[in-house]
Every structure is written in C-alpha cells, then in structure tokens.
Amino acid sequence: MEFMVCIKQVPDSMTIDINPETGSLIRESAGAKINPYDLSAIEAALQVREKTGGNIHALTMGPKQARFAIREALALEIDNGWIVTDKSFAGSDVLATAYTLSQAILNITEPDIIFCGKQSTDGDTAQVGPEIAELLGIPHASYVTEINHVDKDYIIVTCNMGTYKEVLRLSTPCLVCIEMEAYTPRISSLRNKISSQNKAINELSIGNLKDKDKDNYGYKGSPTKVRKIYVPKVKRESKIIDGDVDKIIDELIEKLNEWGCLNE
C-alpha cells in the first residue's frame, strides 16, 4: 500500500519576532522543528506499514530550510522524502497551502491513506488536512485516536469527539488527521540518523504541478486578507478592596464593569 504523511516545520519556540513593517513572522528567530502532531502522524503511518507493508512518503511545503523536517522523517525510516517549494507559494493562506499540497500529492503517487497531524502548533487552524481531502475528493476523518483496521478497500478509525467517541469506516483512498496523544512517536536511532543523511530528498516546484497557473498559489491564490498582526500586550492590574461586604460587592461590580469583564 502507498501512504503519504504531510509534515510541517514549525518554530521551536513560543516567542517569535514579527517584522513591524510587513507584519510577517520572522521564522528564523525561533529555530525550527517538526510539528509535534506530525510526529504522531508519522508514527501512525509507521505502525500501519508494519502491518500491511508498503511505502511511506513524507511531504512538506515550505522554504528550502523545511528539508530539515523531511530529513528527520527519513531518519524515522520513512521511505521517500518530498519538499514542494517555490517563490510563487509565498504568502499562502490555509486554502492555498492545502491546494499546493494536494497538487503535489497528485504528482507524487496515489496514496491509499494520507496522514496529517490534527493541527499545527503555530498556525493552529486544523484546516489543512480536511481541505486537502476535499480538494482531492476523498473521505476524511479528524481527531483520530486509533486506526483499528486497514485493508486495500477501507479503513476503520476511532475519533475522539470530546464527549463521545465515533467509529468510522472510510473507503480508500482517504485522509486521517491524527491526535497528538494517540501515537507516541518513536525516537530515531543514531544509525538511522546517520544513514538518512545520504538519502535523496525529492524537490517539486510549480513547474512539476499539473496546475501551473501562479494565480492559484501564494498571495494570489489566498482569499484570506490579514489586516494586522501583532503580539498582544499582556496587561495586569490589581486592586484590593476593603470595607464591609456591601461596599466590597458594589465596588467589585463597578470595577469589573469598568474593566469590561461583565460585558455581554
């Protein structure tokens, strides 16, 4: 069977500088790592391959530095690494990102199962996986905590829906978004780390994709318009209210109103 794991490189820090003029993130200011949710997606794919055999491809979209994330995936014994990178992809919102990834997947293989993390730790939207599935016209499941059954025609998964669990049967090809706690990522061995250094990473650009129209990618292909981006200022103010209970309550309500805490 053929498997695809989409992995994103994310900042390795909660604090990331923002260019005050352009409002864009200065990603180099925070180091980089594989999105932790995607490590669980990789682990899920590895466990499925152990049962069914087959090939796992790892795919990332990003600048050339994102090869680092693919290199790490190769050290975890992923079979083939892919990066889709092009200047035309700059400024991609969620839809344009999902579109680019779906175009890249069509170029690479016909995967039986596509694995995504549930969400990223930076953008956090949890939309890319389901959007890839919609763009490819295949079924998908989110919040997947367990892959109970896999064969060539269908899979059965358990999803954590918060207050209840859902067991779904999806015909293949399909896409699953894996919960972080569901599959504990294994650690790559030193031997695999070293041998992965020599493995080739395949590179795709817009010229390799079926749709080569630049208007469908990057800024032009992104319907989201960001008006402003900034680091919120954390304001703390404390007040001690003395006096008898009625006075304390009146003053407390007055203060809470003044601070906007009681607004509907």
Ligand X SMILES: Cc1cc2nc3c(=O)[nH]c(=O)nc-3n(C[C@H](O)[C@H](O)[C@H](O)COP(=O)(O)OP(=O)(O)OC[C@H]3O[C@@H](n4cnc5c(N)ncnc54)[C@H](O)[C@@H]3O)c2cc1C
If binding is defined by CB under 6 A, does position 242 make contact with ligand X?
A: no
d(C-alpha 234, C-alpha 140), whole Å: 39
| Contact residue for ligand X among 62, 81, 173, 221 (CB under 6 A) | 62
Tell me the two tokens of residue 179.
């919960």
What DSSP string runs through 132-201?
Answer: HHHHHT--EEEEEEEEEEE-SSEEEEEEE-SSSEEEEEEESSEEEEE-TTTSPPP---HHHHHHHTTS-E
If binding is defined by CB under 6 A, does position 8 make contact with ligand X?
A: yes
Q: How far is CA 46 from the centre of its chain?
A: 18
Least separation in angstroms between residue 239's CB and ligand X is 39
If binding is defined by CB under 6 A, does position 90 make contact with ligand X?
A: yes
Closer by beta carbon to ligand X, 49 or else 115: 115
If binding is defined by CB under 6 A, does position 117 make contact with ligand X?
A: yes
If binding is defined by CB under 6 A, does position 221 make contact with ligand X?
A: no
If binding is defined by CB under 6 A, does position 88 make contact with ligand X?
A: no
- Per rule CB under 6 A, count of chain residues that contact ligand X: 33
Burial class from Cβ neighbours inside 10 Å (0-12, 13-18, 19+) for residue 232 reads exposed
Q: Which of residues 149-188 bind ligand X (CB under 6 A)?
A: none
Least separation in angstroms between residue 217's CB and ligand X is 11
Closer by beta carbon to ligand X, 160 or else 255: 160
In contact, 177 and 126? CB cutoff 8 Å: yes
Strand partners, 228: none
If binding is defined by CB under 6 A, does position 140 make contact with ligand X?
A: no
| Contact residue for ligand X among 2, 77, 122, 203 (CB under 6 A) | 122
d(C-alpha 152, C-alpha 2), whole Å: 10
Report phi then psi at 166, rounded to 5: -120, 135
Which residue reads 């599959």 in tokens? 183
Least separation in angstroms between residue 248's CB and ligand X is 45
Least separation in angstroms between residue 135's CB and ligand X is 13
Strand partners, 2: 55
Tell me the two tokens of residue 45.
């794919």
| Contact residue for ligand X among 26, 161, 187, 226 (CB under 6 A) | 226
| Contact residue for ligand X among 171, 197, 224, 257 (CB under 6 A) | 224
Q: Which of residues 31-50 bind ligand X (CB under 6 A)?
A: 35, 37-38, 41
Residues that bind ligand X (CB under 6 A): 6-8, 35, 37-38, 41, 59-62, 90-94, 97, 101, 116-117, 119-120, 122-129, 222, 224, 226
